[in-house]
Structure formats: structure tokens, C-alpha cells
Amino acid sequence: LILLASPGSASADTWCWKPDGYDIRKGDTTWAKSQTQAGNTFQDWVWRGPTFRCPTNSPGCGYSWQESKTTGWQWSVGLKVSNPVPWLNQVLGEITPSYGRNGSTSTTFNFSTNLRPGQYAQPIQVVERRWTKGTFVGAFRTDHSGCEHGSERYWWDGNYEWGSWQANLRVNDYGSYNIWN
């Protein structure tokens, strides 16, 4: 099964396939539709710079950090997919493909602050993500009516919703600083 995550146009054409064969036509695409998402985001720290600690025997410290940094990031996402083509469900059952998300975060750090004795400071790059789930839209459908030589009639339905997916999608990325005692 090939899933393409881009919108496609619906087609009213019909095809005749034998129950043991599946023919993917170019231009018939299934896309992921978001339906539910978490109210809050969470942070992935994709890079941590060097840690600085203000000496405990000092009255306090000035800390500054200047650097331009680009960090690549990626993570894998699992999908649980139920196929809308009935005979394919008998062969494959439920499949669990995975795919990766990746990108990069570029930050120009130009930061200075005052630290209390014993405090730590560290530049970080953050990718904010949000848990999201939804369905797939677009599938070949059948009414099990016959056509030529024992085949079944199938047609592309670009509006048919089926299956489910869930993922932690990137919402934002930024540079910041972690300061702690």
C-alpha cells in the first residue's frame, strides 16, 4: 500500500480488478487529515551548548554567549492503518508503517545575563511539537459488483475517509537558554 501525503483530485473512472490484484493509478493520492490535537505543546531540546556555572564564591557573574548554530533533527512516527480495500485487509490485516519527520533549526545566539553564585546557564535549541491525530482521505472503493471475467468494479473516491493516524507534529522551533541552580 502506498500512501502519499498530498492532496489529489478525485476521479469518477472505474477499473476492473481481480480480487488477487491491486493496481495503483498515478494521480490517485491519499492524504492525511488532522481532526484532533492536544491543547498543549511539548519541547524537544535538539541541541544543548556548553554549560557555564557562576562560581559559588563570587558575588555574581555576567554571562554572554554569541554563536550562530544550525542543528538538523529528525524523529520517526508510527502509523496504524486499516485498509479500505476489503480483500487487501484479508491479506495484510492491519499494517503499521512508519515514516520520519526531519528539519533544521537555525539560531543566532546573542545573549547576556547576570547569574547568581552557583547558577548554571546553557544555550539550547528547541523544537515544539503537538500530538495530533486524524484520518486518511481518498481510497479505492468497491460495491463488489462484477465486471469482465470475474473482476470486481473499483473506483477512486477522493472524499472517502478511512483509517487513523497519530503523530507529534512540529509546531515551532527557536533558540533559548536554560538557567538553573
CATH number of the domain encompassing residue 156: 2.170.15
Q: What is the pLDDT of residues 119-174, one digit of tens each?
A: 999 998 998 999 988 888 888 888 878 787 777 888 888 888 888 888 888 889 88
Looking at the domain assignment, is residue 23 inside a domain?
A: no
Looking at the domain assignment, is residue 83 inside a domain?
A: yes
- Which residues share a beta bridge with 169? 130
What is the residue range of 84's domain?
28-180
Q: Which of 89, 65, 78, 175 is nearest to 131 (CA)?
A: 78
Q: Do residues 87 and 144 touch, judged by C-beta distance below 8 A?
A: no
How many domains are contained in the chain? 1
66: pLDDT confidence band, cut at 50, 70 and 90? confident
Q: What average pLDDT does range 5-15 have in this prediction? A: 44
95: pLDDT confidence band, cut at 50, 70 and 90? very low
Q: Residue 4's pLDDT is what? A: 36
